[in-house]
Amino acid sequence: MAAPFDTPVLGDVTERGIPALKAGAMAGSKPYVAAAAHQEPLGFPGVLEDGWEKKAIGHMGELLGKYRSLQVFMDICVKCGACTDKCHFFLGTSDPKNMPVARADLFRSVYRRYFTAAGKLAPGLVGAREMNKETLDEWFNYFHQCSQCRRCSVFCPYGIDTAEISMAARDIMDAIGQGQKYCNEIIGKVHRIGNNLGLPPPALLDTLEGLEEDMEADTGVAVKMPIDVHGAEVLLVTPSADFFAEPHVLGLIGYAKVFHAAGTSWTLSTKASEAGNFGMFIGNYEQMRKISLRIREAALELGVKRIIFGECGHAWRVAYSFLNTLAGPWDFLDPRYPVPQHILEFTNDLISRKGIKLDKSGNDGMVLTVHDSCNVARGARMGDKPGGQFTIPRDVIRASVPKFVDMHPDTICDKTFCCGGGGGLLTDELIELRVKGSVPRMEALKAVVEQDGVTHMAAMCAICKAQFTKILPYFGHDREMVVSVHQLVSNAIVLGDND
Amino acid sequence: MAYTSNGATIEADEEGYLINITEWDEGLADQIAKDEGITMSPEHWEVVNFLREYYSEYQIAPAVRVLTKAIAKKMGPDKGNNKYLYELFPYGPGKQACKIAGLPKPTGCV
């Protein structure tokens, strides 16, 4: 259990300053190291073995050769300082090592020592650093205080992407036997059981049956949760948290009602019962590919025509930006539809051409705002227009609720702040980091609650939903203040027989 | 970490979840609950027993909604909700109740 800590006092979102530095404030924050039982099934060494230092540098060299971006990020930083106050973890913890430039320099200092002439000849003069246990420990702690949200890269005049540096660092640590328990245990479950939760098919079937009963009891309409249906038009790939947790499951119910109302045949899959792809968080291309290939196999086996992703932030980044490379070509799918599509895109399209009917009174009394998920906002797009990832979720929410307001412009769309739990940090031992990292979002939320009477915040990512459920009570809010976007659709949708 | 129960050492992971779930017994559950600041009442046992039954059938803890429905059936509709379960297990019915029931921690985005 994590040590007690003080919940930060929230400031004014319109007057956010650079916090007074507290050096070493988060030096002790780290996730659990993965045990051999969680490392070895992924092909990583179980523990640090003799000679790991050399192996780490060798792996760094490989990554620098493979990813030109990483090489450029190492050489191009001019220390302008534009990124320093853009990271939620720095703003929430005041630890200067959580400034993006400082985080990147953890990697860069080792790069300099082994890959530049100056660093080889006079390391002390150029801030070059040996790869040793002390360096590794600092890497482990601070590369697990980055949620790979990429907000800093929006403000970097050179476009340095700290997320990519964090991913590379984590990949190196896995390769030498110092992985992170949370991510690697979960990836193991995806390979062994099919999803992050470790929900075996019989449990999944039982859960879905229960949901069908609930929906029929609530609406009087037999809305289905089909699974492994051959020849269905749409394969829905959604985070396994949608089957398990609240408010996630209310979103899943929303998807089912939309498919029902639109008359679209759809199916879930026991094989691809997970949209999430933690291979990205650990920066491991092979894992990312293996996890993605399950979706291809499921789509082929079931003979579907389209693939739609449920509300999951990083899954959508992998799906939208990388899926074709990882698991394509998708020439067996219906070419009239984008591969893949987002459920919000699907629902929004139906709303705009009146394919489904919404009655806002289903959400009476609610005033909504929306939290843009980092990987949706900065790692992908949605629909066929630039900025669709911002307008589509808002259009769906507006169509479903009586009142919607946005939070402060510095905290939404491409400038959105991470929820504080992204990038493989949604684990209990990091709760202090998660609470502190949520401060910028909580400040912006507080402002709209006070000024506009906001009652609920919609999220479109399983991690954001779980993180907010956990941390909202620290700031005096009800945990049920966070809702799924499709939960709102679910409350508003008019099902045929109910008309 | 590890627990001591009836003179035997019972291995647990860093957070106190049992490594070998067959080593669980009711005395150990009381002890884990105490470490979590919980005194086991008949209501707590209803939840823990249901989790164990479900786990033995499905090899996973039930989804939150499955749990609330089962509790509503057993203890009355006023108790079949998240709020009541959080009153019993303030750190979250999923994780805290699983730990006391000797089951693995639910993982993922939950």
pLDDT score of A281 more than 80: yes
Return the amino acid letter for A233: E
Structure tokens at A150: 């990429």
Q: Which among B15, B63, B86 has CB closest to A243?
A: B63
CA A98 to chain centre: 19
Q: Quick one: A169 and A237 in the same domain?
A: no
- Neighboring chain B residues of A243 at a CB cutoff of 8 Å: 63
- Neighboring chain A residues of B60 at a CB cutoff of 8 Å: 197-200, 203
How much is the average pLDDT of A457-485? 98
Residue of B nearest to A182 (CA): B107
Q: Enumerate the β-bridge partners of residue A112.
A: none
Q: Global pTM? A: 0.97
Closest CA to A235 of A380, A340, A375, A348: A340
- Neighboring chain B residues of A429 at a CB cutoff of 8 Å: 14-15
Residue A479 domain flag: yes
The predicted structure's pLDDT at residue A17? 86
Residue B77 domain flag: yes
Q: Which CATH number does the domain housing residue B20 bear?
A: 1.10.10.370
How much is the average pLDDT of B88-99? 93
Catalytic position from the list B17, B82, B109, B110: B109
Q: Which residues of A146-167 are buried (b: 16+ CB within 10 A; e: fewer)?
A: bbbbbbbbbbbeeebbbbbbbb
pLDDT score of A2 more than 90: no
pLDDT confidence of A46, banded at 50, 70, 90?
Answer: very high
What's the pLDDT tens digit per position in A399-410?
Answer: 999 999 999 999
What's the pLDDT tens digit per position in A206-242?
Answer: 999 999 999 999 999 999 999 999 999 999 999 999 9
pLDDT confidence of A256, banded at 50, 70, 90?
Answer: very high
Q: Which residues of A touch B (CB under 8 A)?
A: 1, 32, 181-182, 185-186, 189, 195-200, 202-203, 206-207, 210-211, 214, 239-241, 243-246, 248-249, 276, 312, 426, 428-429, 462-463, 465-466, 470, 479-480
pLDDT confidence of A441, banded at 50, 70, 90?
Answer: very high
- Neighboring chain B residues of A466 at a CB cutoff of 8 Å: 109-110
The burial of A435, by beta-carbon neighbours within 10 Å (0-12 exposed, 13-18 middle, 19 or more buried), is given as: buried
pLDDT confidence of A499, banded at 50, 70, 90?
Answer: very low
Structure tokens at A448: 């709209």
Closest CA to A486 of A322, A380, A333, A350: A350
What's the pLDDT tens digit per position in B6-51?
Answer: 889 999 999 999 999 999 999 999 999 999 999 999 999 999 999 9
pLDDT score of A112 more than 50: yes
Domain containing A151: what range?
Answer: 36-186
Q: Which CATH number does the domain housing residue A92 bear?
A: 1.10.1060
pLDDT confidence of A308, banded at 50, 70, 90?
Answer: very high
Does the distance separating the beta carbons of A1 and B109 come in below 8 Å? no
Q: Which among B58, B62, B92 has CB closest to A202?
A: B58
Residue given tokens 């985005």 in the structure block: B109
How much is the average pLDDT of A237-262? 98
> What number of C-beta contacts closer than 8 Å exist between A and B?
90
Q: Which among A32, A200, A276 has CB closest to B60?
A: A200
Return the amino acid letter for A429: E
Q: Quick one: A59 and A115 in the same domain?
A: yes
Does the distance separating the beta carbons of B108 and A186 come in below 8 Å? yes
Q: What share of chain B is helix, strand, coil (3-state, %, to 5)?
A: 55, 10, 35
Q: Is B98 a catalytic residue?
A: no
Residue A440 domain flag: no
Residue of A nearest to B82 (CA): A246
pLDDT score of B94 more than 90: no
How much is the average pLDDT of A23-33? 98
In angstroms, the CA A400 to CA A394 distance is 10
In angstroms, the CA A342 to CA A357 distance is 19
The predicted structure's pLDDT at residue A498? 42
pLDDT confidence of A73, banded at 50, 70, 90?
Answer: very high
Domain containing B66: what range?
Answer: 2-100
CB A307 within 8 A of CB A299: yes
Closest CA to A312 of A253, A239, A370, A379: A239
Q: Quick one: A161 and A246 in the same domain?
A: no
Residue B13 domain flag: yes
Residue B106 domain flag: no
CB A306 within 8 A of CB A337: yes
Q: Enumerate the β-bridge partners of residue B9.
A: B4
How many domains does chain A contain in total?
2
pLDDT score of A1 more than 80: no
